[in-house]
Amino acid sequence: MKKIISLIVIVIVCFINSANAQNYKLDSAAFRQISNHILTNYDCYKNLHDLCKQIGHRLTGSPQAAKAVEWGKETLEKTGCDKVYLQEVMVPHWVRGQEQAYLLGNTGLKEPITISSLGNAVGTGESGVQAELVLVNNMEELNRLKPDQIKGKIVFFNYKFNQTNVNTFDSYGPCVYYRWGAPSEASRRGARAVVIRSVSSAYDNKPHTGSMRYDPKYPAIPAVAISNLDADHLEELIGNKKKVSMFIRTTCQMLDDVKSYNVIGEITGSELPGEIICFGGHLDSWDIGEGAHDDGAGVVQAIEVIRVFKKLGIRPKRTIRAVLFMNEENGLKGALKYADLAEQNKENHILAIESDAGGDVPLGFSMTMEPSQRGRVTQWKKLFEEYGVTNFEREGGGADIGPLHRKFNTPMMELMPNSQRYFDVHHSANDVFENVHRRELCLGAIAMSHMVYLVSLYGL
Amino acid sequence: MKKIISLIVIVIVCFINSANAQNYKLDSAAFRQISNHILTNYDCYKNLHDLCKQIGHRLTGSPQAAKAVEWGKETLEKTGCDKVYLQEVMVPHWVRGQEQAYLLGNTGLKEPITISSLGNAVGTGESGVQAELVLVNNMEELNRLKPDQIKGKIVFFNYKFNQTNVNTFDSYGPCVYYRWGAPSEASRRGARAVVIRSVSSAYDNKPHTGSMRYDPKYPAIPAVAISNLDADHLEELIGNKKKVSMFIRTTCQMLDDVKSYNVIGEITGSELPGEIICFGGHLDSWDIGEGAHDDGAGVVQAIEVIRVFKKLGIRPKRTIRAVLFMNEENGLKGALKYADLAEQNKENHILAIESDAGGDVPLGFSMTMEPSQRGRVTQWKKLFEEYGVTNFEREGGGADIGPLHRKFNTPMMELMPNSQRYFDVHHSANDVFENVHRRELCLGAIAMSHMVYLVSLYGL
């Protein structure tokens, strides 16, 4: 029966496609025009260079984040789009301070080790924390330990990135718990601090930071990441039945909230201005590296969509809006504010697209929407094929467009680049401009522009 | 009518798939086992490290090429496969020698410029060549020049890599003529030497070398490449109506042929040993960089197929054979020898697979074969999808398996990695181990292993 239904669907799609032959040709020509322009001008790459090299990393609340807001506004204004404006939002202001750590062993071992405090974590205080390390590979192992095996110690969560998943986002998900929630689980059992293995696919010597949250029921204890090579080294040391202690001194702290902004640029729809397609990435980044893939790429791609529409004189029927969100990394305040204002202003978003999975070569779009809408998008697949964008199967959306989706059930999509390299650099000192590829970044901007072009023309 | 036929085909495929449900499950499990093993052991990456760092670049005829033969033999032997052997072949022995060049202008300009002689080119002699540069962007522009505008000059072919093609191989093809054949066209018109813009997608300061061939009807004149940034600079200098000359001194030369080898490792088929599936890459590389993508990647992937079969105890029904070809870059002598010996030994190759498009993330296989065979392969597509290998549409094969195909009409395939980065590094000093990504290289080896697994089981 299922097969018969499939056949009927195929026949219907064939008829629809025949009816739309003229549109297909026009759309295909528009796709080509957009692609040729971006691949030969690559303004988004030059913009990324400026963002990474003139401003650098830009954690929420930092002077660089304020500069990035200015830069975003000016860069959008330069596109000549209809409106550029800011949405004020109060955001957390966490600062890293100083970091110092070494390993200590009963055989006279004293080795410095590079650490990176997890975002939102408390510091150790000036005098630091020194205690024996207890290695657990996962929560099950933690649960099996007796209270006196944890109390007063430093828990080392050595949970490993699963290298067997082909899509690395499938491996990222399970690891995140050990960064986000596990520190409080250690605190609950009396630990003095937590060290985590970096949430990363790379075998290198860079620790990867990222957001954490304390469970208010238990004391907030310091939490830091070490690199995967150091984690392997530590595993070996402890595995050799040696008692290994660690000294950690961090002065990170959460300061008072500060005022910041989402930055928005839009082209008003010529026929249906009330139907809004928003797309974007986040302007803030972690405070190491340059936030090039995460999420400078998404930011410059969103700006590029607006720029290419203006440059090529494509007047969208529906309103298209680039949103540079503030505070995705450690609070999501910008995204929440955006959704609140959309409600307050009675805005009608017909689609939200996020680019926050890096600037590598795009392979598809993940999406969360009604089956009929997904069917509509899938029908356009043929147009995307020659640009290598062929995967429309995965469910997905994005952190910054999540609040909008939850409030209005807005259909959402995320640009899906090749995932192999992203978690090598993500949240680390290696997330720099040099690790973004010019043509691949451009192809992502092209895919976003293509999708916005179709939805602005045909709706969803 | 076409649609009705399509529908019938779909129905038939559905029935076949139902009948093969058990196989699909088994094959899918085998795919997973192969993938998990390679992604967690990544021996091919370690092998590439050894090849690039212990031997380095290995141009045909060089001592490093001889070392690479030894290395290939030993590495294949370590897999424990049934047979490892060499195929002797006489190969050209071109040596680069010294290179020196500078630009000279009538305003006192004297700027050193980095050059790379094209492979097989003659040198300038010790005293060098100095002459005015004549810039042409393509053959049409050369054809429009009068004889005295070329005679005694150095022709600068400034043909640009077309950045608008999404698949960069589509841009590579047209450029190659300016490296391979155009120097003789300049010589025919009386030029003393040729400079070409690098055949590359990169905007950097590395010249990209590559093979050329002299038309025996005209004098062999020196031919060198300059980087794309230098080409832009030169274009600007000449565009400013300045007369620019160039001094070139190169001592490259072709020496006598030397003895070398293809290296072969195989597992004999348990049921149909006479049906051979061969797959490979080329062991030689250009003499700058480390030949990491071109074609260390293909070499270690081919070895990995053999290794994973042995390691996982997969006994192929048909014979599977890894071939490390010698002299792909400047003569193809190994490939020609391989095809000759196949004929002499009355071998029956049912498929030849090449990996010579770099070690980036695999997206599909290009192929040249009968429609029925292509249909068979396409039917397997579903199995490959979760590994990101989805493009089975392009026609293609490879230089090293071409002679076999031409002799026997052997079906051929080439692994098709993401093409965006390959021509950035191809034939340049940037083609080094550090520019190959561990997981992406492994995924290529996995795709090759999967394809060999299916064909060794089901034939083609």
pLDDT one-digit tens code per residue, B388-444: 999 999 999 999 999 999 999 999 999 999 999 999 999 999 999 999 999 999 999
The predicted pLDDT at position A439 comes to 98
Mean pLDDT, range B374-381, rounded to an integer: 96
Interface check for B11 against chain A (CB to CB < 8 A): the answer is: yes
Measuring CA to CA, which residue among B373, B383, B452, B372 is closest to residue B415?
B452
Q: Hey, CA dihedral for A439, A445, A447, A450, is it positive or negative?
A: negative
Q: Over 60: is that where the pLDDT of A12 sits?
A: no
Contact A427, A285 (CB under 8 A): no
Please report where in the chains the tokens 């190759």 appear, as a residue. B349
What is the C-alpha separation between A114 and A224, in angstroms, rounded?
10
pLDDT of amino acid B14:
43
Closest CA of chain B from A263, distance in Å: 31
Q: How confident is the model at residue A4 (pLDDT cuts 50, 70, 90)?
A: low
Q: Which residue's entry shows tokens 């040993």?
A: B273
Residue B2 has pLDDT above 80, yes or no: no
Output the CA–CA distances (angstroms, integers) from residue B36 to A380, B261, B299, B444, B447, in the order listed.
34, 33, 21, 13, 12
Locate the DSSP E strands across A268-325: 272-282, 318-325
Find out whether B411 and B361 touch, Cβ atoms under 8 Å: no
A16 pLDDT tier (thresholds 50, 70, 90): very low
Distance, in Å, from the CA atom of B369 to the CA atom of B165, rounded to the nearest integer, reads: 25
Flag if B39 and A386 touch (Cβ within 8 Å). no
Residue B284 in contact with residue B326, Cβ under 8 Å? yes
Give the model's pLDDT for residue A21.
Answer: 53
Please report, rounded to a whole number, the percentage of residues in chain A having pLDDT higher than 90.
93
Residue A102 φ then ψ, to 5°: -150, 160
pLDDT of residue B13: 45
User: How far is CA A223 from each of CA A148, A176, A177, rounded to the nearest angstrom?
Assistant: 20, 14, 13
CB A400 within 8 A of CB A356: yes
**Is position B343 annotated as part of the catalytic site?**
no
B41: closest CA of chain A, how far (Å): 10
Give the pLDDT of residue A349. Answer: 98
Range A56-85 average pLDDT: 98
Neighbour count for residue A12 (Cβ, 10 Å): 10
Residue A20: pLDDT over 60: no
Query: What average pLDDT does this structure show over A345-360?
Result: 98
Q: Is B388 on the interface with A (CB under 8 A)?
A: yes
Residues of B within 8 A of A390 (CB-CB) are: 390-391
- Residue A9 has a pLDDT of 47
The residue behind tokens 């600062």 is A95
For residues B72 and B77, what is the distance between their CA atoms, to the nearest angstrom? 8
Residue A222 per-residue DSSP state: -
Give the β-pairing of A83-95 and A253-267: antiparallel
Q: Residue B384 to residues A362, B180, B314, B377: CA-CA distances in angstroms? A: 19, 37, 19, 11
Nearest CB neighbour to B439, from listed A35, A201, A388: A201
Q: Which of B425, B421, B436, B201 is nearest to B296 (CA)?
A: B436
Is B190 a residue whose pLDDT tops 70? Answer: yes
Query: Residue B453 has which token pair?
Result: 């697994």
Among A40, A391, A421, whose Cβ lies nearest the Cβ of B437? Answer: A421
pLDDT of residue A18: 45
- What pLDDT, on the 0 to 100 scale, is given for residue A242? 78
- Check pLDDT > 70 for residue B268: yes
Selected residue with higher pLDDT from A29 and B10? A29
| Alpha carbons A241 and B360: distance in angstroms, whole number | 41
For tokens 């690039």, the residue is B52
- Locus of tokens 């025996």: B216
The upper half-sphere exposure of residue B363, i.e. CA atoms within 13 Å in the direction of its Cβ, equals 26
Q: Is pLDDT at A17 greater than 50 in this prediction? A: no
Judge whether residue B183 has pLDDT over 90. Answer: yes
The arithmetic mean of pLDDT across residues A117-133, rounded, is 97
Nearest CA in chain B to A385: B391
Mean pLDDT, residues B244-248: 97
Question: Is some CB atom of chain A closer than 8 A to the CB atom of B39?
Answer: yes
DSSP letters along A165-218, please?
-SSTHHHHHHHHHHHHTHHHHHHHTT-SEEEEE-S-S--SS-----B----TTS
**Residue B47 predicted with pLDDT over 60:** yes
Look at residue B77 and tell me whether its pLDDT is greater than 90.
yes
Q: Are strands B129-136 and B244-250 parallel, antiparallel or unpaired?
A: antiparallel
Q: What is the pLDDT of residues A107-121, one digit of tens each?
A: 788 999 999 999 999
Angle at Cα B266 formed by Cα B389 and Cα B46, nearest 5°?
60
CA distance B180 to chain A (A): 26
- Ordered by where they begin, the domains of chain B are 23-94+256-458 (3.40.630.10), 97-251 (3.50.30.30)
Beta carbons of A35 and B388 less than 8 Å apart: no
User: Residue B15: in which H helix or E strand, if any?
Assistant: helix B2-19
- What residues contact B173, with CB distance under 8 A and at least 6 apart? none
Token pair for residue A314? 């494509």
Of B185, B266, B304, B328, catalytic: B328
- Chain A residues touching B438 at Cβ < 8 A: 203
What span, in angstroms and rounded, lies between the C-alpha atoms of A438 and B203?
10
> Which residues, other chains included, contact A313 with Cβ-Cβ below 8 Å and sequence gap of 6+?
none
Q: Cis ω on the peptide bond leading into residue B295 (within 30° of 0)?
A: yes
What's at B237, amino acid-wise?
Answer: L
> What is the predicted pLDDT for the residue at B4?
55
Nearest to A164 among B39, B201, B388 (CB): B39
**CB of A39 less than 8 A from some CB of B:** yes
pLDDT-based confidence at A123, cuts 50/70/90?
very high
Does A35 sit within 8 Å of B164, measured CB to CB?
yes
**A58 near A294, Cβ under 8 Å?**
no
Taking the CA of residue B380 and the nearest CA in chain A, the distance in Å comes to: 17
Cβ-in-10-Å burial (0-12, 13-18, 19+) of A458 comes to middle
The Cα B236–Cα B228 span in angstroms is 12
* Tens digit of each residue's pLDDT (9 = 90 or more) over A184-239: 999 999 999 999 999 999 999 999 999 999 999 999 999 999 999 999 999 999 98
SS3 content of chain A, % helix, strand, coil (to 5): 40, 25, 35
Residue of chain A whose Cα is closest to the Cα of B423: A439
Nearest in space to B163 (alpha carbons), one of B153, B171, B154: B171
pLDDT tens across A148-171, in order? 999 999 999 999 999 999 999 999
pLDDT at B16: 47
The reply to whether A35 touches chain B by the CB within 8 Å rule is yes
pLDDT score for B28: 97
**Chain A residue numbers touching B3 (CB-CB < 8 A):** 11, 14
**Partner B contacted by A100 (CB < 8 A):** no
Listed range (A236-240, A291-295, B450-454) with the worst mean pLDDT = A236-240
Find chain A residues with C-beta within 8 A of B203's C-beta.
438
**Predicted confidence (pLDDT) at residue A71 exceeds the cutoff of 50:** yes
3-class SS of residue A228: helix
The CA R_g of chain A, rounded to the nearest whole Å, is 24
Single pTM value for the model:
0.94
Between CA A207 and CA A112 the distance in angstroms is: 14
- What are the Cα distances from residue B209, in Å, to B134, B156, B372? 21, 15, 40
Residue window 138-177, chain A: list those with CB within 8 Å of chain B. 163-164, 166-168
The pLDDT of residue A286 is: 98
Nearest CA in chain A to B164: A36
Q: DSSP states of A385-418 as a string?
A: HTTT--B--S----TTTHHHHHHH---EEEEEE-
Inform me whether the pLDDT recorded for A183 exceeds 50.
yes
Query: Could you read off the pLDDT of B321-355 as tens digits, one per residue?
Result: 999 999 999 999 999 999 999 999 999 999 999 99
Residue of B nearest to A33 (CA): B164
- The pLDDT of residue B5 is 52
Hey, which residues of A are catalytic here? 328
